Amino acid sequence: MPIDILMPALSPTMEKGNLSRWLKKEGDKIKPGDVLAEIETDKATMEVEAADEGVLAKILVPAGTADVPVNDVIGLIAGEGEDAKSAAEEHGKGASGLPSAARQEPVPPSPAALAPGQGAAQRPAASVNGQREPRIFASPLARRIAKEGGLDLAAIAGSGPHGRIIERDVKAALSKAPAPARVEEARAPAAPMPLPSDELIKQNFVPGSYEEVPHDLMRKTIARRLIEAIRTVPHFYLTAECNLDALMSLREAVNEAAPKDKEGKPAYKISVNDFIVKALALALVRVPDANVTWTESAMLKHKHVDVGVAVAIPGGLITPIVRAAETKTLSVISAEMKDFAARARARKLRPEEYQGGSTAVSNLGMYGIRNFSAIINPPQATILAVGEAEPRVIVKNGAPAVATMMSVTLSCDHRAVDGALGAELLAAFKTLIEHPMGMLV
């Protein structure tokens, strides 16, 4: 039998992908590790590698195809001893020789054909650690939708490759499930009012007075995740004003002391944002109860501080993560962020470089923004919105004085971080920023 090449799920948020280009053509020999194609996800452009050896028998999804669902078959590999042409022709038929359209909806056996006590939930058992348990093949997305809908995967027939349960199978089962079986849906709050349709919105504007620019995967994902975050995470906001005079002086001294190469280029150049990342990480070390993630059953208290840093890229933004930022020097943080920013703009970040994290920094100060409030990016519990560093008149020792000030706003998930705890965290950050020498020892 030919081996299916499936559209991979390259990130937890990915449901569809764009097949940018094929790097192999039909008839090419394939070995494990060969790069077959490039897939554009909601976050980056990733390479699909072959896991099997053989010949690329058939390309089923051509280059440039958009919105290919995860787990759809995009190509076929003919295995050792198989004729590539025959394998490609066989794909259009099922095991019984019927066209594939005839097997889109598998028909479960009738009750009469089942042995007593047997049902849809009865599946071949797999041995795990000596225990015999049912093994159900389903995509991660199908499992999540089934869990949210209160459905038992064992009762669903799969229409994916080799009987795998995929998204459409679960959605079909949900549409047929009786109301009493969907307990979670009954407990859920009322659905929000639907948004107006595209056509209704367009009626507000004169035809021809606008240009339609279709949303790409990144923009669709950003929209969906931000709506989910603002609806499901109870936000509250805390603002502080930080005096940066000491930090600016220290930054200048640190950069002047940087070793230089033969061409006179410094080994590093620390930015204000690098200090902010380090200060937030150390503040969470001082206030460990805020370095958490909320789950419905427990609070996850993190042993390290992984700080996401929002990076603007064409068409949206991405948040690469500085892992264990509390353990890294300012020069290491600076080098990592320069590398992340360059690869983010080229959409070359790996999923593990932007997934997770316990907090984040969003800095719009370079755009002249004095203050703003940022939306938390789950599963993180906090995000720090950073404004412009600018000279302002303040009161110092009872008299007016000019200082470099910066406004910061901490957004907190109230389920995980209460008001007093958030205030303690922001106070720790302010202390570190205003006494930056403490970050160097």
DSSP string of 273-311, one letter each residue? HHHHHHHHHHHHHHSGGGSEEE-SS-EEE-SS--EEE-E
In a domain, 430, yes or no: yes
In a domain, 220, yes or no: no
Give the single-character DSSP code of 188. Answer: S
| CATH code: domain of residue 398 | 3.30.559.10
Give the per-residue pLDDT at 92: 56
Q: Which domain holds residue 69?
A: 3-97
The residue whose two tokens read 């389903």 is 138
CA distance readout (Å), 29 to 12, 25, 420: 31, 9, 63
**Tell me, what amino acid is at 374?**
A
| Tokens at 310, concatenated | 């929002």
Query: Which one of 45, 65, 97 terminates a domain?
Result: 97
Give the per-residue pLDDT at 230: 92
In a domain, 116, yes or no: no
Query: Which one of 97, 123, 147 terminates a domain?
Result: 97
CA distance 143 to 153: 7
pTM metric for this prediction:
0.65
In a domain, 57, yes or no: yes
In a domain, 380, yes or no: yes
In a domain, 31, yes or no: yes
The residue whose two tokens read 């995740």 is 225
Cα 346 vs. chain centroid, distance in angstroms?
17
Domain identity same for 93 and 238: no
Give the residue numbers marked as catalytic: 414
3-state SS, 14-35, equals CCEEEEEEECCCCCCEECCCCE
In a domain, 385, yes or no: yes
CB burial of residue 79 (10 Å; 0-12, 13-18, 19+): middle
pLDDT in tens, the chain (441 residues): 678 888 887 666 677 888 888 998 888 888 888 888 988 876 677 888 887 788 888 899 998 888 888 888 898 888 766 766 666 666 655 433 333 333 333 434 433 333 333 333 334 443 333 343 445 777 767 777 887 777 888 788 887 766 778 878 888 888 776 544 444 444 445 556 667 888 889 989 999 999 999 988 888 888 888 899 999 999 999 999 999 999 999 999 999 999 998 888 999 999 999 999 999 999 999 999 999 999 999 999 999 999 999 999 888 889 999 999 999 999 999 999 999 999 998 888 888 899 899 999 999 999 999 999 999 999 999 999 999 999 999 999 999 999 999 999 999 999 999 999 999 999 999 999 999 999 988
Give the per-residue pLDDT at 106: 40
How many Å from the N-terminal Cα to the C-terminal Cα in the chain? 63
| CATH code: domain of residue 79 | 2.40.50.100
Query: Which one of 27, 62, 97 terminates a domain?
Result: 97
In a domain, 248, yes or no: yes
**Residues ≥6 apart with Cβ < 8 Å to 273:** 309, 337, 361, 363, 386
For the chain, the domain total comes to: 2
